[in-house]
Structure 1
Amino acid sequence: MALRTVGSVLGVFLLSVAVVLGQDGWSVTYTPQSICALKGSTVELTCSYTYPSGYTVTTTLWFTKNDAEGNPVSLSDDPDYKGRVTYHNDNKNDCTLRITDLRESDAATYKFRFITDRTGGRYTGNPGVTLSVTDLQVKVTPYSVVSAWKTLTCTTCLLTGSPTSIWYKNGQIVTDNTSPYSVYPDAADSYSCAVKGHEDLHSPAVCVQDQSCNRVTYIDKRICALKGSSVDISCTYSSYHPIKTTFWFRSDKSTPEDLTRDPEYAGRALESLPSTLRITDLRESDSAEYKFRFNTEISGWGYSVPGTTLYVTDLQVKVTPAAEGQKTLTCSTTCTLTDNQNPNFIWYKNGQRLDEPTSLQYSVNNSYSDSYSCAVKGHEDIQAPAVCECELVLYLTSINHLRSMRKDKLHRNDNVIHS
């Protein structure tokens, strides 16, 4: 109760500060100033800003940290957030930040900063908005000392809007209920929970009475891997009854089929262990949700529990103008690589590897004769298609060559007619 009171007083104080700052026309407003969100979900940090008339905003950015010189590092340039952040720009006063595929490492204080066209005309919105990222867990406690009933609680930080908990027994929905939830368990049963609106983000399943209940827990909810590389998709599992068979399958197939027997995966899908699926020579068509199933003498298990979603990306070199006479090359993927959260990129010039330190971006001088490509360290055999300005030169040369040939042909034909 005391904590709730402190929070209310703090909110009034911050609102007062915003009003004072707004008197001279400079302000950044965050609504709310603290947010709790689920790991793997998407969150929006709502923000608006104002500045005096006569100024023009030239740069906007969100940041959580500064560089060695004390300058804010834009989330758009931070490899940890690559492909996961977008800024709203529906109107000139909207600065809302959207972060997808939340990770626990995203928990931080976020601040918005804007810079105008006038000297000293820059502003940072303090104190910022605090984001907490939580994973769901099921906590089991005895209902009473003498009762076999158990109380299940879906634990998390205080999510915005006080959402409803959804409970699953052996992967099947049993009730929409606010936590806690009371059950009279069977030794074979496992339970998990989710939050309404985020049913794809289950907590790990727990055995309430016996640790050998029926359950499958996937190591990763999402994996992003390079086209042409290999990936391991893993889980842990237990069964109350003896297991007869196990296999991995794609959830988008009308009939679950053992991937090792699927013609599309011939020679590429292997089970190194029963709980690990390895797919080699990845293709973009391999992007899908994968699940593990075990069969006992009584039933099969593993259909309804969310599996691991695989995203397969290729590499592309994007070219953008920079300073006069220069261009910035960016080694681009459609998702953030899972096996290397902060990958080292390797750059190639005319097919030769460059020795200098490299990163996601690389600056080059305009050159019509050079081509550039990139790769991720550890996957040097998978390179992006080379790009160069020489392609435009070659195109124009081809056009001129064709025109020259056409003129020459017409000239020869004219000589034949007059001969």
Structure 2
Amino acid sequence: MLYITILMQLHLSAAMDWSVSYSPTTICAIEGHSVDFSCSFDYPNTRTLKISKWFKPETHQKPDGSQQGIFVYHSSAEEINKRYQNRTVYANQNKNCSLKLHNVSESDIGRYFFRLETSRGGKFTGSVGINLNVAVLPFRVTVNTENVNGHIHEGDSVTLTCSTENCTPKQEPLAWFKNQILLPHTTESELRFSSVSYEDFGNYSCGLKNSNRTSTNKTLLDVKYSPKNVEITISPSGEIQEGDSSTLICKSNANPVVKNYTWFRISGTNISYVGCSREYSIRVVSQKDDGQYFCTAKNDIGYQNSTVIALKVKVPGRQHFVLAAVSALLFGIAVTLVLFCLFKRRKQLATEKKPTEQTMSQQ
């Protein structure tokens, strides 16, 4: 019994001397990039390392490392599968079995194992292995919302996710773009809006930071919102002469687009309805059109009123009458001054003449 116990302890001690550790055990690499398989191993000091190799079980083999498939790396270079020749760099250091694999592609997806063979027939394969997945470009953006009907309204919670086919590498910093403009300080795979705004409406894309490899297709964040920034422009601008034509245009931002416009005119304390299209045109402006105007823009979400704008109408006849009256007044004043000067001059001459006549009479 004591002999069996000692034998079991020796066997257990020997087993503990054999080990292979992988870190991490799952990797998502970007298509065309390089990937590192971090690995370390150990074996009894009484043995001598003869062969080191990395292998990948083939599709018809068990993916648990119990069956050796194609050799990705081998101490004997001629054993390396042609698909992996000149694509691997082995650490080749004492008990460091790390491997770098260059230019990964979708065909490299699978589980990789390290195996060592020593003197005296010692063989050991690290279980579990490293599962390699490859992110196939381009990147794409998906929109997720809790709204049941899928429509996004202002105030909703929205998450944009940047991903690729098969997997999304978390170790790589990402860049986000809105309408092809870089969004600063956003490097995660998710872009979250706790309360989305109409200002967030736009086309989004993503890609690797410091790289031009972004998603080829832009994804629209279609935020539905009621009319915003409703305003009126008048053409032509400024004061309008009576008899001219004038057009008032109601402008707004809205999604969906505004379907209903309504025009109102304010005259004193009265507000009257005057039109129901985006443009309110007056072919021949008259004095009755003088006043203040505002419009209301409405879509399926809501409505908004514009600010009030004044339409000033000049009446040419009154202006001419005033000018004529002023001219007549000035002319009258001028004539009066002339007559006054003439009268005063005649009076002065008459005064000078009388003393002369008196002097002659005395002689």
Q: TM-score range by the shorter chain?
A: 0.3 to 0.5
Which fold has the larger relative contact order, with Cα–Cα distance below 8 Å and residues 6 or more apart in sequence? 2
Q: Report the TM-score when normalising by structure 2.
A: 0.43
Higher normalized helix content (fraction of residues): 2
Name the TM-score, length of structure 1 as normaliser. Answer: 0.38
